[in-house]
Amino acid sequence: MKNKEQEAFEAAVKTMMRSVGEDPEREGLLKTPERVFKAYEFIYGGYKEDPKEILQSATFTSSNDEMVLIKDIELYSTCEHHLLPIIGRAHVAYIPDGKVVGLSKIPRVVNVFSRRMQIQEQLTEQIAEAIMEALDPKGVAVVIQARHMCMEMRGVEKINSTTTSSALRGLFKKDEKTRAEFFNLINAPMGNRY
């Protein structure tokens, strides 16, 4: 049973389809408004998740004080200006100060913020801030490299251009050697995966 919110959403999709010259009653499009509603529920699921709760659900005491890096985290987001895809990868590192977090929680936090309407610069900052707040580490570094379909599919139509953004906190911002180590690691080839 559809609620009023879903009915309104589906009506808006039909209006959009008509405005671009389509017939929402055409056989192939009859279920499109419902499919779009379900897709948007997933794509924008980040609004319903709390990154702090995710990080704190798997935080452990540790004597480790060396960099922890998870690189090449795939991300899919949506440009808040055009509602077109942003496709990229994130590299996230932190230096523990008495506690570490389960490794799977870092990509989950990337997903929480990616699954919202975004600009890349804000996305990068939000990930860094969430980790700083939840773990209080000695430092956090986040780099995102992404392609923006609003630049490729429309406007300037620059195919394969990549935008890189970074957010550095604590030792990654203050200490040149720590920062250099991070950038060397994220730019190093993966090599043998096992």
Rounded to whole angstroms, the Cα distance separating 1 from 46 reads 24
Continuous segment of H or E residues that includes residue 14: helix 4-19
Same domain, 122 and 178: yes
Residue 193 lies in a domain: no
Contact 140, 172 (CB under 8 A): yes
Contact 132, 140 (CB under 8 A): yes
Choice among 129, 145, 150, 152 that is catalytic: 150
Same domain, 56 and 39: no
Give pLDDT, residue 88: 97
Same domain, 28 and 72: no
* CATH code assigned at 107: 3.30.1130.10
Choice among 10, 79, 91, 118 that is catalytic: 79
pLDDT for residue 192 is more than 80: no
Choice among 22, 34, 82, 122 that is catalytic: 82
Annotated catalytic residue 91: no
* CATH code assigned at 35: 1.10.286.10
Residue 194 lies in a domain: no
Choice among 74, 81, 121, 133 that is catalytic: 81
Q: What average pLDDT does the chain have?
A: 95
- Beta strand 117-118 with 68-79: parallel, antiparallel or unpaired? parallel
Choice among 34, 49, 80, 125 that is catalytic: 80
Choice between 60 and 191, residue whose per-residue pLDDT is larger: 60
Residue 93 lies in a domain: yes
Contact 89, 107 (CB under 8 A): no
User: Domain range for residue 21?
Assistant: 4-43
Same domain, 56 and 11: no
Annotated catalytic residue 81: yes
The number of distinct structural domains making up the chain is 2
Same domain, 29 and 109: no
Same domain, 27 and 99: no
- Beta strand 139-148 with 117-118: parallel, antiparallel or unpaired? unpaired
Annotated catalytic residue 148: yes
Same domain, 112 and 163: yes
Rounded to whole angstroms, the Cα distance separating 114 from 120 reads 9
Cβ count near 143 (within 10 Å): 20
Same domain, 20 and 94: no
Average pLDDT over residues 82-107: 97
Residue 192 lies in a domain: no
Annotated catalytic residue 126: no
CA count, 13 A, side-chain hemisphere, 99: 14
Same domain, 83 and 10: no
Same domain, 113 and 167: yes
pLDDT in tens, 32-80: 999 999 999 999 999 999 999 999 999 999 999 999 999 999 999 999 9
Q: Which residues contact 107 (CB under 8 A, 6 or more apart)?
A: 70, 73
Annotated catalytic residue 6: no
